[in-house]
Structure 1
Amino acid sequence: YTTPKQFIKDVTIKTKILSAAKGKVKLNIDFEKSTADKVVLNIFGNGEVIIKEFALNNSAFETEFDLNECRFWSCADPYLYELKIELFEDEACLDEYSIKFGVREIKVDGYKLLLNNEPIFLKGFGKHEDFPVIGKGLNLALLVKDFSLMKWINANSFRTSHYPYAEEWLDFADEKGFLVINEVPAVSLDFRKTNGATLKNHKDFIRKLINRDKNHPSVIMWAPGNEPNLVGEDSYYNGTGDNYWKEICEYTKLLDPTRPVTIPNCQRAGKDDPVFNYSDVISLNRYYGWYENPGLINTAVKRFEDEMDYIAEKYKKPIFVTEFGADTMPGFHSISDQMFTEEYQSELLKKYCELIESKNYTVGEHVWNFADFKTPQHFRRVVLNLKGVFNRTRDPKLAAFTLRKIWGK
């Protein structure tokens, strides 16, 4: 694409809920090499057209305004306003830019996650951009299919594990009312190998992600990492991990103080992971009943309950279970708790959901994974990671019907 010599370089929209029918919009606009003398804002929505004109005297502009009788963005009503920005010099239009936005507010209050001041419970999946032949390539028909399946199963959210997805995913989430935990590609950091260059690169990815996706109402949390210290290295706990994640989380909040930050923790990192100190929401990836306590669902659930209770009591923060699941071969069946069967996956997910939903400190459950996906070759993988509740071509396993029933309550 091309731009004029003077153009609208960046737009940042932040919103707040002021009352049951009033919202606030704060707007920051940066211009490139601008000698413009006027900016015009056109706000379309809820049956109204609001036009505001402002004089300009530099290359940045900031304003805020209230929307009365405001229609808030939510899962049930994902209403989007449209903002058109026009840049003028001597009444000649130099550039214009249009963007859709939703008025909503997300925050943590005690053990609760609040959307527009109402508690929200996250139901959904860790996903992957993956499909036969096209791999991670964007396919719009597949995107529509995946959202329709998530709607069918009564999910309301997903995590972009473990990298930024194509922008079309977030556009569609905005329109369909899905909540997104947006993740940078900082997976399983090995702190024996991290250095200053790692930290700089990590911050660069966070900045790029927030700059790209900051105006999407569907994005409710930033995940600046996933499963650090997967190798279980002891030196991670000598202050190295604490210092690293303190800087990363503070940097993320500096760039965007309007959204909570979370970093999914893995079993190897344990229940005293330094990421818990700096996460607004504590996220746990747990595979009791699979990688540990295989075949023993009741033992697995009790072990996880004890661990969650310990973490909630120690850190006094909401807990979000971001991964749990079991590999499943479609068509494998058993009347006993037999791993890899459809019945085993269904029962394990059911027991986990019952446990998670029984606690007053939990704010969500994301099953790993939405659909089977291709992985590097490994003796643990039979061609694919088979933890999907749909197979790679999106046919449902038994667990999909189980989750539909649980999440449809």
Structure 2
Amino acid sequence: MCSAAWNNNPIYIAFDGVEFGYTIWVNGKQAGTFASAFNRQTFDISPYVLAGKSNTLAVKVITHPRGWEFDTNDDWALSGISRNVTVFTLPKTHIKDVVVRTFVKPGNSTINVSAAVEQVGSAKFSKGLKFTGQLLDATGKTVKEFEVNSTALQTDPKVLNFKGSVAIANPKLWSAETPYLYTLKLSLIENAVAIQKYTDKVGIRELSWDGGIFKLNGQAVKLRGATHHDLSPVNGRAITEAEFKNDLKLMMRANMNFIRTSHYPPNIRLLELCDSLGIYVMDEVPYGYGDEILGDTTYLPILKIRAKATIWRDKNRPCVVIWSVGNENPVTPIGIITGKYVRNLDPTRPYCFPQTPTVFANMVAKMPDSLTMLDVHYPQLDSLKKYATQ
């Protein structure tokens, strides 16, 4: 039953993960299709929903959509709906996206908040539209109140952009050793009425490079860890929070501080746990196998959809410190374009192309200048010394 109160607002459905693709119908009408097993996709189903009445949702899982090879890896290829499915409504004027970036200096930090507000339907943006914000500490005490102001930049008449900056004196910084999280609260105000609220955790930290040394908050960091699959011997891909916690605590007891999400963006709950427990993450844009089609330029839109979906969902997670672009693939022209696209979407984190030793040796000279990190798997010590001098 869809609430009658939703009648005048847009209604959406979001799928967090379906192997390997799917098409949906609402009340017998096709409402959307998507093919990327581990990326979130949201559909506007407003035209098909009968508010205040029972509605029928049908989902057809597709095992071999175009590009399915990118979602096959050296693990179990289990198909089906393995992650959350959410139906929700938003006001016609609503928050489309929020980007939070933090910068650290001795004794203080800056939090930059950017928000995009979308207008659905024929109405225009109200002149009385604004954001108010709060930053709370871990005890719930307000640290700062601020406003996020609209900008002159508006390339889309249906999207209004807002930007704000918050200075914090003597902040508690986020790291693996001290995973301190603040709470960010935003309220979208229209004519003095809050029409939507947004809440997320924020870890204040900044990544940097210094002479080839990876640093967090100005301190050199050594990453020690392993790869991690969203896979359970009992629940398959539908891994539970208890299983995630058990995996992470096992890693921490082994003195690990880092995981690589092989070979796709993980369940969002894993990243939230890494935020709170203090574990660094290499988050992977999903294209595992499929080497034979990476020379086909018609697959570039598929790779860019996957890259954008990965970064759009995970960009505000403090635990994510590196973007991995694919897994041990040959670096083809469309792969290089995808890597540069990742860099443009998020210039605050390094990205890399994970490689086997042979492929890496053949490709290292062809890596783009925008690449900040080299990633060779299973290396010999002599080769590491050689690459470290380059």
**TM-score, with structure 2 as normaliser:** 0.69
Contact 1:157 1:179 in 2 (8 A): yes
- Whichever residue aligns with residue 2 of structure 1, its letter is T
User: Could you give the per-residue CA deviations for residues 164-196 of structure 1, whole angstroms, max 9, x where no partner exists?
Assistant: 110000000000110000002212442565312
Partner of 2:108: 22
Partner of 1:12: 99
RMSD: 2.0
Partner of 2:130: 38
Q: Does 1:280 align with 2:339?
A: no
The secondary structure found in structure 1 opposite 2:165 is: strand
- Whichever residue aligns with residue 158 of structure 1, its letter is I
Going from structure 1 to structure 2, the CA distance change for 1:139 and 1:276 (only over 3 Å counts) comes to farther
Q: Distance in 1 between matches of 2:242 and 2:366?
A: 39
Contact 1:245 1:274 in 2 (8 A): no
Shift of 1:248: 2.0
Contact 1:124 1:155 in 2 (8 A): yes
Going from structure 1 to structure 2, the CA distance change for 1:17 and 1:263 (only over 3 Å counts) comes to same
Q: Distance in 2 between matches of 1:207 and 1:309?
A: 35
Partner of 2:307: 206
The secondary structure found in structure 2 opposite 1:272 is: helix
User: Could you give the per-residue CA deviations for residues 319-355 of structure 1, whole angstroms, max 9, x where no partner exists?
Assistant: xxxxxxxxxxxxxxxxxxxxxxxxxxxxxxxxxxxxx
Alignment counterpart, residue 147 of structure 2, candidates 48, 53, 68: 53
Q: Distance in 2 between matches of 1:191 and 1:64?
A: 46
- Whichever residue aligns with residue 25 of structure 1, its letter is I
Q: Distance in 2 between matches of 1:192 and 1:178?
A: 34
Partner of 2:352: 262
Q: Distance in 2 between matches of 1:55 and 1:64?
A: 10
Going from structure 1 to structure 2, the CA distance change for 1:308 and 1:268 (only over 3 Å counts) comes to same
Q: Superposition pairs for residues 147-158 of structure 1, below 5 Å?
A: 147-158=248-259
Shift of 1:123: 0.5
Which of the pair is proportionally richer in strand?
2
Going from structure 1 to structure 2, the CA distance change for 1:305 and 1:54 (only over 3 Å counts) comes to closer
Q: Distance in 1 between matches of 2:237 and 2:262?
A: 12
Q: Distance in 1 between matches of 2:226 and 2:188?
A: 42
The secondary structure found in structure 2 opposite 1:194 is: coil
Contact 2:136 2:182 in 1 (8 A): yes
User: Could you give the per-residue CA deviations for residues 66-90 of structure 1, whole angstroms, max 9, x where no partner exists?
Assistant: 1111111111111111111111122
Aligned residues: percent identity? Answer: 28
Partner of 2:381: 305
Shift of 1:39: 1.3
- Whichever residue aligns with residue 39 of structure 1, its letter is F
Shift of 1:56: 4.7
Alignment counterpart, residue 297 of structure 2, candidates 173, 181, 196: 196
Q: Distance in 1 between matches of 2:171 and 2:94?
A: 30
Q: Distance in 1 between matches of 2:358 and 2:246?
A: 35
Shift of 1:114: 0.3
Q: Distance in 2 between matches of 1:45 and 1:135?
A: 37
Contact 1:242 1:275 in 2 (8 A): no
- Whichever residue aligns with residue 281 of structure 1, its letter is M
Q: Superposition pairs for residues 128-139 of structure 1, below 5 Å?
A: 128-139=229-240
Q: Does 1:71 align with 2:186?
A: no
Q: How many residues align?
A: 286
Contact 1:16 1:103 in 2 (8 A): yes
Q: Does 1:219 align with 2:320?
A: yes
- Whichever residue aligns with residue 30 of structure 1, its letter is A
The secondary structure found in structure 2 opposite 1:76 is: coil
Q: Does 1:186 align with 2:287?
A: yes
Q: Superposition pairs for residues 358-369 of structure 1, below 5 Å?
A: none
Q: Distance in 1 between matches of 2:223 and 2:118?
A: 40
Shift of 1:111: 2.4
Q: Superposition pairs for residues 49-198 of structure 1, below 5 Å?
A: 49-53=143-147, 56=150, 59-191=160-292, 194-198=295-299
Contact 1:181 1:221 in 2 (8 A): yes
Q: Distance in 2 between matches of 1:180 and 1:252?
A: 16
* Unpaired stretches in structure 2, ≥5 consecutive residues: 1-87, 120-124, 155-159
Partner of 2:333: 243
Going from structure 1 to structure 2, the CA distance change for 1:169 and 1:193 (only over 3 Å counts) comes to closer
Which of the pair is proportionally richer in helix?
1
Going from structure 1 to structure 2, the CA distance change for 1:107 and 1:242 (only over 3 Å counts) comes to farther
Going from structure 1 to structure 2, the CA distance change for 1:216 and 1:276 (only over 3 Å counts) comes to farther
Q: Distance in 2 between matches of 1:70 and 1:100?
A: 15
